[in-house]
Structure 1
């Protein structure tokens, strides 16, 4: 089983969007038995809350389920449980390194680092920008490349 964790600041906008989008892609590829997906936030502010209304709306528009998803804070043991920890932006990367800077056997990177010639390096936070459509496009593209990388690396 390959374990993928998406991380953003509060775990109500970007990372749950990525979790839902990626899980949908994994299901469409018939890989649900091989890949497990989750998300977490750097902060604890929204712990237990469902995804932000803007995230829910864009996922609803694209017929992607977020059923049962609740925000949680990342914990140090996540590095031992996940094979991929995928951050939404550079600040998330710095925050992750502050939590645990030494790890083995886990890939930690920004989502858009996977996209060749990406128009952005960081997925902007729609909690502040309100641009959930643009974030959905970036997340979807990044997730496609992540799935491609995982399939190639693990011969799926």
Structure 2
């Protein structure tokens, strides 16, 4: 069975993308299909390589029964464009950077994550780094919505088995 490889990307890989990794991992685990996936996150910049997610992101995720404390920041590498089937950017700036880094034959893999959101017209997951707790909650809400939409999309295009209440 070929696994579906998903990479979530933000700037520093300490707030949005590790949150997305945690939320999506929890979702596929709850649906009993985690073994069909490889899920990771990375940043377009190397500011925080090796660091754990921001404590505020960890706290907000933990309140929703998601543990991201074991994740460590890393920077997107050239190999990621070959390895991952879906490279999902949190915002337009990181999408642009990924598109510049990505070889032309892998451009189809790079997309904005919120393209998959079901209940929002927002294009970008805002960076909560310089804000308060409400920003981290908003990020979780957007990421949960997009994760559900992304999994529904994968059910259609990758012919995953039907999952009730995705």
Q: TM-score by structure 2 length?
A: 0.89
* Residue 89 of structure 1: how far off its partner (Å): 0.3
Name which of structure 1's ranges 125-134 and 10-19 shifts more when overlaid on structure 2. 125-134
Q: Which runs of 5+ in 2 are unaligned?
A: 161-166
- 2-structure distance, mates of 1:44, 1:91: 15
Total equivalences in the alignment: 156
Q: Which runs of 5+ in 1 are unaligned?
A: none
Q: Partner of 1:142 in structure 2?
A: 146
- 2-structure distance, mates of 1:67, 1:57: 9
Q: Deviations over 1:38-73 (max 9, x none)?
A: 000000010000110111011110011224210000
Give the CA RMSD over aligned residues: 1.5
SS at match of 2:35: coil
SS at match of 2:8: strand
Q: Partner of 1:97 in structure 2?
A: 99
Assess if the C-alpha contact under 8 Å between 2:12 and 2:44 holds in 1.
Answer: yes
* Residue 119 of structure 1: how far off its partner (Å): 3.2
SS at match of 1:30: coil
* Residue 117 of structure 1: how far off its partner (Å): 6.1
SS at match of 2:155: helix
Q: Partner of 2:163 in structure 1?
A: none
Assess if the C-alpha contact under 8 Å between 1:2 and 1:83 holds in 2.
Answer: yes
* Residue 118 of structure 1: how far off its partner (Å): 2.3
- 1-structure distance, mates of 2:29, 2:124: 26
Residue among 129, 133, 158 paired with 1:154: 158
- 1-structure distance, mates of 2:119, 2:109: 21
Q: TM-score by structure 1 length?
A: 0.94
